[in-house]
Amino acid sequence: MSSTSRVAVVTGGSRGIGRAVTRRLAAAGYDVAVVHAVNQAEAAAAVKEIEVVGRVGRAYQADVADASVIEQVFGSIEEQFGGTDVVVNSAGIMPLAPVAALDLAVLDRLLRTNVRGAFVVAQQAARRVRDGGAVVLFSSTATRLHLPAYGAYAATKGAVEALVPVLAKELAGRNITVNAVAPGPTATDLFLDGKSQEAIDQIARANPMGRLGTPEEIAEVVRTLADRARWINGQTVFVNGGFA
């Protein structure tokens, strides 16, 4: 592969919003490295979708919170693709419980994946993204909705929002943008899991648009931040149909 090819790294890229992001970036001309945690079959399917549109895709299995493994993965991506231009961290977990009832072991898992994982990926992005590139992290509209049972999850996403403008300023002079995307309720397995159809319909009706978002709608915003919207930097962009 030529070192002049545009290369994107997408964590959590085998399912849900991350999978839609890999498709959208591939369609925009990026070769894509898909970083996934467990599901090798889904990751392989994501790579096939990248290849269908004529781009190069490769899958890498890693825990985003494992700094040494993520460093090795980014090193392999540089060797195999020639460099990195865009890093998107969509890996995350969303166990829900009221603050009074939350098992602190669950809190530790949330902090490890959603905060440490985002930081580890952002750290590698800061070290490796080529000048003129972009870093896109994921927050959530849950930071504004203040819904019961979302306290721990929203707290982890608030940490991501705090990180973004700091990193944007630290990368000054390199023409690298750093932003977060904060989706509202979106029709993914992560969001739908454990919810009754009645609860899903109620959430959809509460949105001014009368429905849930789609992964493709979120992916389009990520694609825009990747290389089109160069004057958006250090921001959290809420993509929620007016939900909050």
Distances from the Cα of 1 to the Cα of 22, 28, 53, 100, angstroms? 18, 17, 16, 53
Question: Residue 3: pLDDT above 60?
Answer: no
- Model confidence at 4, pLDDT cuts 50, 70, 90, reads low
Question: Residue 220: pLDDT above 80?
Answer: yes
- Model confidence at 199, pLDDT cuts 50, 70, 90, reads confident
Mean pLDDT of the chain: 95
Percent of the chain with pLDDT over 70: 98
Query: 150 catalytic, yes or no?
Result: no
Q: Where are the domains of the chain?
A: 7-239
Question: Residue 190: pLDDT above 90?
Answer: no
Per-residue model confidence (pLDDT) at position 244:
81
Mean pLDDT of 226-234: 97
C-alpha gyration radius of the chain: 17
Task: Check if the beta carbon of residue 143 is closer than 8 Å to that of residue 153.
Answer: no
Question: What span, in angstroms and rounded, lies between the C-alpha atoms of 129 and 170?
Answer: 13
Identified catalytic residue from 30, 60, 150, 153: 153
- Model confidence at 21, pLDDT cuts 50, 70, 90, reads very high
Residue 40, H or E segment? helix 40-52
Distances from the Cα of 110 to the Cα of 72, 118, 141, angstroms? 23, 11, 17
DSSP-based three-state secondary structure for 117: helix
Mean pLDDT of 176-198: 89
Per-residue model confidence (pLDDT) at position 2:
45
DSSP 114: I
Percent of the chain with pLDDT over 90: 89
Residue 201, amino acid: D
Residue for token pair 């929203």 = 154
Domain 7-239 has CATH 3.40.50.720: yes
